[in-house]
Amino acid sequence: MALAQTAGWNLLRWIVLLAGLFAVPAPLLAAGNIKIAVDAEFGIPFSTSAQAVRNGAQVAVNEINAAGGVLGRKLEVIERDNRAVPARSLNNLKELAADPDVVAVMCARYSPVVVELLPEIHRLKMIYLDPWAAAEQITVNDYSPSYVFRLSLRDSWALQTMMRHALKSGYRKVGLLLSNTEWGRSNLRAAETTAKTDTHQEIVGIQWYNWGDPSIVERYQALRAAGSEAVIFSANDREAVILVNEVAALPGEQHLPIIAHWGLAGGRFFEQAGPALKTVDLSIVQSYSFIGRTDPAARRVLAGLKELTGNDDPRKVVSAIGVAHAYDLVHFLAKAIKQANSTDRTAVRNAMEKLGRTPGLLHQYEMPFSATRHDALSIHDAYMARYAEDGAIEPIIKARH
Q: What pLDDT is recorded for position 397?
A: 60
- Does residue 9 surpass a pLDDT of 90? no
End of a domain among 250, 265, 286?
286
> What gap in Å lies between CA 399 and CA 385, rounded to an integer?
10
The whole-number average pLDDT for the span 381-401 is: 84
Q: Both 236 and 269 in a single domain?
A: yes
Q: Does residue 6 belong to any structural domain of this protein? A: no
For the chain, how many structural domains are there in total? 2
Q: Both 135 and 163 in a single domain?
A: no
Q: Both 298 and 269 in a single domain?
A: no
Q: Both 182 and 240 in a single domain?
A: yes
Q: Does residue 388 belong to any structural domain of this protein? A: no
- Greatest Cα pair distance in the chain: 112
The whole-number average pLDDT for the span 51-60 is: 98
Q: Both 216 and 271 in a single domain?
A: yes
Q: Does residue 389 belong to any structural domain of this protein? A: no
Q: What pLDDT is recorded for position 362?
A: 97
Q: Both 273 and 190 in a single domain?
A: yes
Q: What pLDDT is recorded for position 15?
A: 39
Q: Does residue 383 belong to any structural domain of this protein? A: no
Q: Both 281 and 191 in a single domain?
A: yes
Q: Does residue 20 belong to any structural domain of this protein? A: no
Q: What pLDDT is recorded for position 77?
A: 98
- Does residue 24 surpass a pLDDT of 80? no
End of a domain among 286, 316, 335?
286
Q: What pLDDT is recorded for position 205?
A: 98
User: What is the CATH classification number for the domain harbouring 244?
Assistant: 3.40.50.2300
Structural domain of residue 144, as residue ranges? 32-153+293-378
Q: Is the pTM of this model over 0.75?
A: yes
Closest by CA to 380, choosing from 288, 318, 284, 289, is 288
Q: At residue 105, what are phi and psi to the nearest 5 degrees? A: -120, 140
Check residues 398 and 321 and name the one with the higher pLDDT.
321
Q: Does residue 94 belong to any structural domain of this protein? A: yes
Q: What pLDDT is recorded for position 31?
A: 66
Q: What pLDDT is recorded for position 19?
A: 42
At residue 11 the predicted structure's pLDDT band, cuts being 50, 70 and 90, is very low
The pLDDT mean for the chain works out to 92
Q: Both 171 and 149 in a single domain?
A: no
The whole-number average pLDDT for the span 266-272 is: 97
Q: Does residue 400 belong to any structural domain of this protein? A: no
- Does residue 32 surpass a pLDDT of 80? yes
- Does residue 23 surpass a pLDDT of 50? no
Tell me which of 26-30, 105-109, 344-348, 394-398 is least confident: 26-30
At residue 46 the predicted structure's pLDDT band, cuts being 50, 70 and 90, is very high
Q: Both 269 and 304 in a single domain?
A: no
End of a domain among 245, 260, 286?
286
Q: Both 231 and 183 in a single domain?
A: yes
Q: Does residue 49 belong to any structural domain of this protein? A: yes
The whole-number average pLDDT for the span 321-333 is: 98
Q: In what order do the strands lie in the sheet with 75-81?
A: 75-81, 34-40, 102-106, 127-130, 148-150
Q: What pLDDT is recorded for position 17?
A: 38
Q: Both 276 and 171 in a single domain?
A: yes
> What gap in Å lies between CA 165 and CA 161, rounded to an integer?
6
Q: Both 334 and 234 in a single domain?
A: no
Mutual angle of helices 296-309 and 320-340, in 10-degree steps: 110
